[in-house]
């Protein structure tokens, strides 16, 4: 076993298996730039190594697979005016996500506990997404003035029945049952069986055959399944205000779920909501690489604005939960500027293909 990034990420060769362990449990295995660089380099080395036939990725500590990118660090370097490191973080994370999406060897994500943001990016685009019983998925970026990134422009519009639109515009959490029902996860294995599954992968057993003895029936699904008809009816609206109007009408007719969903959306950044809705419109026609390039362009714009910094301040730094969004009302969002933000930014752009 080797460790990189000060021990924050571990790499182990076990027979034909290359095993990655995210080893930052106190930070819920959030991805730092050194972790991102080390993982990208190791995956490339294993791609070229004929003795490695499959890769698995897991998180240490039991509470999280990976809670995302290191948002606090991004906030700090941006506030310090360090544009070099700022865009190295974004380009590095997005580059790793794009590489996972085209990785030529079987890629197995062992996901128990929290999986959000960048953690979704380095797991969802792989072939095998094994959810433990404590799996908890969210893309909550609209709550910090960002948008669902790391390839979600590509992935979420492709989920059935506008469920991806709902996840993008609310940032709501879902469990393993819902994730399996809509295809975010491919298999369910209790987290207590992950070590045994790794042993079988290391013994060279074909991936599907390695998973099979440990597979369990899907846990009960939640509101993403039970409220599927309402989600479809409300979230296929063309604009965010129209989504809210439909939710309000359902709430007036007695739907608690609709009332709670509308209330949650009204706490989110209006600009982020409009960006997320435009992502869902465009993303179904974009490849993963094209989607990630669009996200990089978007993030360069948002780093020049106010809502991301205000959202991180309110949620992560000061933790007062009271962001002052600018603008504060959906009606004040410049939709032409939102659409323009998907175009070339003027910054040097990485290649994600």
141 labelled catalytic: yes
**Segments making up each domain of the chain, as ranges:** 1-352
69 labelled catalytic: yes
Q: What is the pLDDT of residues 236-291, one digit of tens each?
A: 999 999 999 999 999 999 999 999 999 999 999 999 999 999 999 999 999 999 99
Euclidean distance between CA atoms 202 and 205, whole angstroms: 8
Q: Which two tokens stand for residue 329?
A: 């009302």
Contact predicate 269/315, CB 8 Å: no
Classified by CATH at the fold level, domain 1-352 comes out as 2-enoyl-CoA Hydratase; Chain A, domain 1 (3.90.226)
Q: What is the pLDDT of residues 52-76, one digit of tens each?
A: 999 999 999 999 999 999 899 999 9
The angle that helices 256-265 and 163-170 make with each other, rounded to 10 degrees, is 50
320 labelled catalytic: no
Q: Which two tokens stand for residue 22?
A: 């995210």
- pLDDT, residue 4, reads 78
Concatenated DSSP letters of 64-130: EEE--B-HHHHHHHHHTT-HHHHHHHHHHHHHHHHHHHT-SS-EEEEE-SEEETHHHHHHHTSSEEE
Q: Which two tokens stand for residue 151?
A: 């390839």
- pLDDT, residue 303, reads 94
Query: Which of 70, 93, 112, 141 is the catalytic position?
Result: 141
Contact predicate 137/174, CB 8 Å: yes
| Cβ neighbours of residue 304 closer than 8 Å, sequence gap 6 or more | none
Query: Which of 8, 149, 227, 307 is the catalytic position?
Result: 149
Q: What is the pTM of this model?
A: 0.96
Q: What is the pLDDT of residues 137-171, one digit of tens each?
A: 999 999 999 999 999 999 999 999 999 999 999 99
Q: What is the pLDDT of residues 1-51, one digit of tens each?
A: 787 778 999 999 999 999 999 999 999 999 999 999 999 999 999 999 999
Query: Which of 101, 113, 117, 118 is the catalytic position?
Result: 118
- pLDDT, residue 345, reads 79
- How far from 199 is each of 85, 110, 209, 347, CA to CA, in Å? 38, 13, 12, 46
Query: Which of 18, 59, 68, 69 is the catalytic position?
Result: 69
Lookup result for tokens 């490339």: 44
- pLDDT, residue 353, reads 86
149 labelled catalytic: yes
**Rg of the chain in Å (alpha carbons):** 20
């Amino acid at each position: 076993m080797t460790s990189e990034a000060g021990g924050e990420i571990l790499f182990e060769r076990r027979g034909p298996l290359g095993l990655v362990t995210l080893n930052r449990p106190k930070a819920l295995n959030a991805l730092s730039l050194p972790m991102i660089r080390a993982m990208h380099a190791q995956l490339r080395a294993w791609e070229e190594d004929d003795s490695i036939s499959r890769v698995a990725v897991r998180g240490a500590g039991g509470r999280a697979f990976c809670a995302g990118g290191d948002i606090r660090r991004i906030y700090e370097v941006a506030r310090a005016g360090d544009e070099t490191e700022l865009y190295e973080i974004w380009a590095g994370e997005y580059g790793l996500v794009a590489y996972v999406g085209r990785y030529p060897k079987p890629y197995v994500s062992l996901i128990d506990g929290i999986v959000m943001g960048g953690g979704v990016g380095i797991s969802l685009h792989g072939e095998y997404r094994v959810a433990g019983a404590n799996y908890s998925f969210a893309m909550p970026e609209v709550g910090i003035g960002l948008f669902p990134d790391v390839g979600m422009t590509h992935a979420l519009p492709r989920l059935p029945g506008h469920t991806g639109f709902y996840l993008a515009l609310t940032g709501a959490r879902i469990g393993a049952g819902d994730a399996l029902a809509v295809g975010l996860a491919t298999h369910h294995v209790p987290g207590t069986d992950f070590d045994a599954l790794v042993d079988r992968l290391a013994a060279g057993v074909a991936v599907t055959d390695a998973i099979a003895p440990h597979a369990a029936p899907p846990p009960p699904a939640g509101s993403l399944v039970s409220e599927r008809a309402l989600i479809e009816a409300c979230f296929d609206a063309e604009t965010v205000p129209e989504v809210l109007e439909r939710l309000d009408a359902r709430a007036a007719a007695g739907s608690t779920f609709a009332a709670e969903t509308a209330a949650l959306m009204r706490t989110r950044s209006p600009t982020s909501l409009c960006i997320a809705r435009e992502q869902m419109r465009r993303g179904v026609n974009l490849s993963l690489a094209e989607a990630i390039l669009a996200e990089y362009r978007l993030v360069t714009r948002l780093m020049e604005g106010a809502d991301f910094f205000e959202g991180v301040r309110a949620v992560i730094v000061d933790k007062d939960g009271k962001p002052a969004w600018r603008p504060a009302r959906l009606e004040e969002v410049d939709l032409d500027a939102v659409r323009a933000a998907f175009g070339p930014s003027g910054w040097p752009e990485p290649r994600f293909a």
